[in-house]
Structure 1
Amino acid sequence: MRPHPGPRPEPRPRVPSPADEPQRGSEPRPGVQPSARDGSGSEEAGSGPQGAGPGGDAGWDPGPERGAPEAHRPRPSDGAPASPPPRRPAPWRAQVPVVGVVALGGALGATARYGVQSAWPTAAGGIPWATLTVNAVGCAVIGVFMVVVGSLRTVHPLLRPFFGTGVLGGFTTFSTYAGDTDTLLAAGHTREALVYLTVTLAAALAAVWSAAWLTRRVMAWRRR
């Protein structure tokens, strides 16, 4: 058996040495952060020397902050106010010439159609051949006109409104075609009404297609 060691002696108190005492000036002051190099602090966190920007980077200009006064915002170099954008003409002014040429062309086309119908009157209960011929001829001219205009490099902007919409639109007439059909049906001439209704539609479609096809062939032959 091992002998009992007896009571342990109490440890002696540790006497502080001069190295344990804090050096004068080493304690950080309130609001000063210690430096990573020598333990010293700067006056404010993130502040640098006088004239330096944030973080101590000398020569860095943060520029005008958001919400800065008007004096810090960029202005024209000469101090003159910016010139207003150029004024554009009203849209209706650009349409005045178009409306004018359409009205002029429509008057010419309607006058020509009235002359044909006056020279070729329709008998009572008969098929209005004058109106049928006017619509077929007008569709043929439209086919030729669209092919020729489509082949040109430059076209005056008022040519199509004047001749296509104005002259040919006034020369041909769908309203008279529908009115003549209704008149024949009301008078009991059902057969004449059906013939007039069918022949006018077929003649108009055939005229515009054949005229456009023939015009393309002639233009291709002339390019050879």
Structure 2
Amino acid sequence: MNSLFPVMIGGAIGAGARHLVGQAMLARLGPGFPWWTLAINIAGSLLMGLLIGALARGDGVNDTLRLFVGVGVLGGFTTFSSFSMEFWMLFERGQTAQAFAYVLASAVGAIFACGLGLFLMRQVPA
């Protein structure tokens, strides 16, 4: 239960940051292309890489800070950061085929699932 609170607080901060960044970029760049999502996913993945690198070096990042930043803030900011980290974990373990299958299954599966959800909801009378 002690690990829940840093994750919840970090998640709220990350979600708020995602909203603010998205709104600012939408206002500046318009709705023609989802630049805000692209930027958030790339920035979140960079930050996750920095965090994991610091953890691997033993830079004094304790478990509470890892949960707060990695799971909470970055999880609320973008789940793409976790996805990116999991790809690299598989890849660095020599599980290259599984890493690329994970990318393909995640992208295609998520797009298909979203489309299926839209289709199903359109079948339900309003």
1:164 equivalent among 47, 50, 70: 70
2:16 aligns to what?
111
Runs of 4+ off more than 6 Å: none
Distance 1:127 1:146 in 2: 30
Residue identity over aligned pairs, in percent, reads: 39
1:28-54 Cα shifts (integer Å, max 9, x gaps): xxxxxxxxxxxxxxxxxxxxxxxxxxx
Distance 1:171 1:116 in 2: 10
Distance 2:78 2:60 in 1: 27
TM-score by length of 2: 0.57
Give 5+ residue unaligned stretches, structure 1. Answer: 1-95, 187-224
Q: What number of residue pairs does the alignment pair up?
A: 84
Asked if residue 145 in structure 1 is aligned to residue 51 in structure 2, the reply is: yes
Give 5+ residue unaligned stretches, structure 2. Answer: 81-106, 119-126
> Aligned to 1:166, what secondary structure does the other structure show?
helix
Distance 1:157 1:114 in 2: 27
Superposed CA RMSD in Å reads 2.7
Distance 1:108 1:169 in 2: 10
2:99 aligns to what?
none
Note the C-alpha offset of 1:153. 6.6
**Which structure is richer in relative contact order (CA contacts within 8 A, separation 6 or more)?**
2
> Aligned to 2:3, what secondary structure does the other structure show?
helix
2:34 aligns to what?
128
Give the letter for the 1:133 counterpart: A
TM-score by length of 1: 0.33
Note the C-alpha offset of 1:160. 1.1
Note the C-alpha offset of 1:154. 5.1
Distance 1:153 1:117 in 2: 31
Superposition pairs of residues 4-153 of structure 1, within 5 angstroms? 96-121=1-26, 123-124=30-31, 126-152=32-58
Structure with more helix by fraction: 2
1:91-149 Cα shifts (integer Å, max 9, x gaps): xxxxx11011100000000100100111111645x211011100001001111110111
Distance 1:144 1:138 in 2: 10
* CA contact 2:54–2:61 (8 Å) conserved in 1: no
